[in-house]
Amino acid sequence: MRYGRWHRPEPYRDTSRKRAAFHRKQRLEREALPLFADDIAATQHGADEEMARRTIWWDEYERDRRDQRAAWWRKGRARLFTLPDALRARVREIWRTCPYPADPASFADFLHQIAVGKLDPDRPPWVFHQERSARITRDPSSFHDAFRQIGKRKIAGGPNRAESDERLFCGNLGSGILFLNKRVHPIDRNAGFHAASDHRLRDSHLRHADHRVEIEVRGQCSDADVALIEQLAQAAETRPVTVQRIIPVTIAGGARP
């Protein structure tokens, strides 16, 4: 446990500077009310008496400060031992290396910052932590290796059409994070049916249907990335796959896809 030792108790030192400061204080008190200067001087005591009073007061003051500091340490240690064993060991470890002063007030604030979540014991701010790199799949072998599904929603199919599923995927091929919207559409626009994107043509109710998979790509990607996405998606599908890149259009008030 890191803690700063308290200095050895020393007697009060009577110096000429302290006596001069005391005389100056009394003079300023008299000059503040010149009409009552004599009355004020009559109530003031001498420097020898003041130094004797301070000598007695100093011993009591030092003793009270030591007792108060010890009480703060006991309170902080009691709070430390209420933590779980693993967390307590970690807190003691980082306290030994932290830049905070080794006094009970700093230790109490140290525990408080951990309790309220402002200080992460596993990632203390005074220790350099290497920035985490983004998850990049440069040469994916399949669509599901490159992209992970992060959402799903129902979209309206229009008049006389059932709702269909739209699935949202994200991934990074090296140029930045990409978001993919995947939907299944009937090739015949007059058909009154939309299929979920995870259905296959081999399913009984789609075996004789003619559908295509449409993927919209949002994010910074090259033509090669678009071609790779289409290749991976087509390998995972038995239906035709089309991939189109959505380029944001700048309008008044901001950009929108």
pLDDT in tens, 15-32: 999 999 999 999 999 999
Residue 194 has pLDDT above 50, yes or no: no
Instruction: Render 37-101 in DSSP notation, one character per residue.
Output: HHHHHHHPPPHHHHHHHHHHHHHHHHHHHHHHHHHHHHHHHHHHTTS-HHHHHHHHHHHHH-SS-
Residues 6+ apart with CB under 8 A from 53: none
DSSP SS3 for 165: strand
pLDDT in tens, 108-166: 999 999 999 999 999 998 887 767 677 888 889 999 999 999 998 887 766 666 677 88
Residue 199 has pLDDT above 90, yes or no: no
Q: Quote the pTM value.
A: 0.44
| Type of residue found at 37 | A
pLDDT in tens, 34-75: 999 999 999 999 999 999 999 999 989 999 999 999 999 999
